[in-house]
Amino acid sequence: MTFSHPGLFRTVSVLALALSASAAGGAPPPAAAPAAAPAPVAEHVPTAAERAAAARILPDAIRAHVKFLASDLLEGRAPASRGDRLAQAYIAAQMEAAGLLPGAPGGSYFQPVEIIGVRSRVESPLTFSGAGGTVAFRQLDESMAFAGLPLPEVKLKDVPVVFVGYGIVAPEYAWDDFKGVDVKGKVLLVMNNDPDDDPALFAGKTRLYYGRWTYKYEQAARMGAIGAVIIHTPESAGYGWSVVRNSWDGERFTLVEEPEGALPLKAWTTEEASKRLAKLGGFDLDELLRKAKQRDFRPVPLGVTVSVAIRSEVRKTRTANVIGKVAGGDPAHAGEAVVFTSHHDHLGMKADAGPGEDAIYNGAVDNASGVAELLEVARATASLRAPPARSVYFAAVAAEEQGMLGSLALAARPPVPVAKLAACVNVDSINVFGKTTDLSVSGFGRTTIDADILAVAAMQGRSVAADRHPESGGYYRSDQFSFAKVGVPAVYLGGGSDFVVNPEETKKAAREFGRKNYHQPSDEYHDSWDLSGAIDDARLAFHVTLRIASSAATPEWKPADEFAAVRKASLEAAAGSK
């Protein structure tokens, strides 16, 4: 099947619908800015059995899991690959050995996740034409173009390009970048991030979902556009161009029941390439960006057209979430659950590796390390003779790097009704640089889980802070977001940055490690890792999970949070169905 302009195929993604549930005009509601920390609570004193179980979480076990999951044998754990299946088998075996019961719906350790794979090949690159001439952008180096629909062929010929600023429609902020301008059948040039100059607007420097690249594509589809090109800058993305190149170069996946929407062309361009694009129509990109920060901004037809030809190999396949369970010990509450998540996939093999070049994205930190923590927290929980009142599900979820597909599938088909899910605790990429005196939590200030985190951190003599880089939109970038969208109170427990040993040098080394290795083949296991801080974090996650699973109270969203209304609706629907 060939998609050629001006034919249109429109749909609205499940993701967009979930986020727009409580906002006017179909736009996602704003995130609540991180609240001030609650007053410190009394120190939590775990039972002797809980302390003994936590003490069983040890560095050697974490290392062993990471060594296997991040080994070359697993070839980067791309969804639906041989390495993916090996990772699933290993995780399930470890869960069974630890004494966890099968936790997937249907009584298995495996919850199948049906996906569609699209491997795009750009036959004719993004080519822009205007009064200033014609320029073809080099795929990989200057642009990343790919098919946004599972079609064998996408062709665009001389489609008008419109600059739409941030591409945001947010009635609650009296913000509309489209102003009623018809962009149907056009390709949109759009900025990443959201306006961040005003602390009272879009939460200031804290990035909301409006600033995520996923929102840009979704909103473009809702407006009837035929494609969207996102302008990349390291500041607005939070990572360099190499991450864009590595993340989108290769087979991309979507859920079968949730294709990527009605946007045939999706693309990124470098900042320098985007400036040349604007100049073709006689515009200065910096001036356009300045105007886009104002409420009165209106879409700007650039007087430029774009052409591109993309062929794709399309296949329907599957991956799986791996889920183990520790059954609750209180018959009155065992049907309720806490879900502990971490994703087992990574990026697979480098498609364009040269002779002698490392072609495997091992994903040791991201996220073999998180799965290792999950397995050891699960083992500790299963070792308790007296389990918590609520059941705890440990879910190593699939295809997070493809858009959190595994956790989306799990949140849509959970092992217990959504209204019975008390909370989601997520971990993704552990601290491999040593002990810290602090802990960073994405989602801190949003839910009453704060009190549990503060209590356990106090026991360890550590402070707690909200996400230290709210401008990166981290809360919307990992698997806890899938559960938040359906109303489940959810947090992402990260590591600290105030290191005990050589604080400044270690903090600098940690930052440099992330900059150089995030989504790169160099993210490999090293014997030099100092896992003492990771063990503190894992034990904290264990105790926090136990507190939630054992408490008579059920976690709640703070009243002003964007997901509070979704939770309320879920609980009311469950009550009405009785």
pLDDT at 207: 76
Residues 172 and 225 in one domain: yes
Task: Please state, in angstroms and rounded to a whole number, the distance separating the CA atoms of residues 69 and 84.
Answer: 10
Task: Please state, in angstroms and rounded to a whole number, the distance separating the CA atoms of residues 499 and 522.
Answer: 24
Residues 496 and 422 in one domain: yes
pLDDT at 326: 98
Residues 323 and 186 in one domain: no
User: Is residue 69 classed exposed, middle or buried when 0-12, 13-18 and 19+ CB atoms within 10 A define those classes?
Assistant: buried
For residue 439, which phi and psi values (nearest 5 degrees)? -150, 135
Q: Is 5 contained in some domain?
A: no
Residues 460 and 336 in one domain: yes
Section 47-66 average pLDDT: 97
Above pLDDT 90, what percent of the chain? Answer: 77
User: Is residue 235 classed exposed, middle or buried when 0-12, 13-18 and 19+ CB atoms within 10 A define those classes?
Assistant: exposed
Residues 6+ apart with CB under 8 A from 419: 570, 571, 573, 574
Residues 105 and 144 in one domain: no
Instruction: Give the chain's mean pLDDT.
Output: 90
Q: Is 72 contained in some domain?
A: yes
Section 264-281 average pLDDT: 96
Last residue of a domain, which of 254, 283, 314? 314
pLDDT at 45: 67
Structure tokens belonging to residue 554: 């059920």
Residues 212 and 347 in one domain: no
Structure tokens belonging to residue 47: 């039972």
Q: Which of 334, 333, 425 is CA-nearest to residue 101?
A: 334
Task: Please state, in angstroms and rounded to a whole number, the distance separating the CA atoms of residues 72 and 494.
Answer: 26
Residues 310 and 323 in one domain: no
pLDDT at 48: 94
CATH at residue 524: 3.40.630.10
Q: Is 33 contained in some domain?
A: no
Residues 469 and 511 in one domain: yes
Residues 380 and 523 in one domain: yes
Section 397-408 average pLDDT: 96
pLDDT at 375: 98
Residues 6+ apart with CB under 8 A from 185: 5, 6, 8, 159, 224, 225, 226
Q: Is 453 contained in some domain?
A: yes
Section 333-348 average pLDDT: 97
Residues 534 and 480 in one domain: yes
pLDDT at 343: 98
Structural domain total, the chain: 2
Last residue of a domain, which of 253, 282, 314? 314
Residues 344 and 490 in one domain: yes
Q: Is 527 contained in some domain?
A: yes
Structure tokens belonging to residue 496: 């600290």
Residue 561 has pLDDT above 80, yes or no: yes
pLDDT at 2: 36
Section 561-576 average pLDDT: 92
| Strand pairing class (337-343; 153-163) | unpaired
Section 174-182 average pLDDT: 96
pLDDT tens for each residue of 355-395: 889 999 999 999 999 999 999 999 999 999 999 999 999 99
Residue 35 has pLDDT above 50, yes or no: no
Last residue of a domain, which of 292, 314, 336? 314
Section 312-338 average pLDDT: 97
Above pLDDT 70, what percent of the chain? Answer: 91
pLDDT at 556: 97
Give the structural domain span for 556: 65-115+316-576
Residue 57 has pLDDT above 70, yes or no: yes
CATH at residue 177: 3.50.30.30
Q: Is 28 contained in some domain?
A: no
Q: Is 41 contained in some domain?
A: no
Q: Is 207 contained in some domain?
A: yes
Residues 69 and 163 in one domain: no
pLDDT tens for each residue of 207-256: 788 988 989 999 999 999 999 999 999 888 888 898 898 888 888 999 99
pLDDT at 113: 98
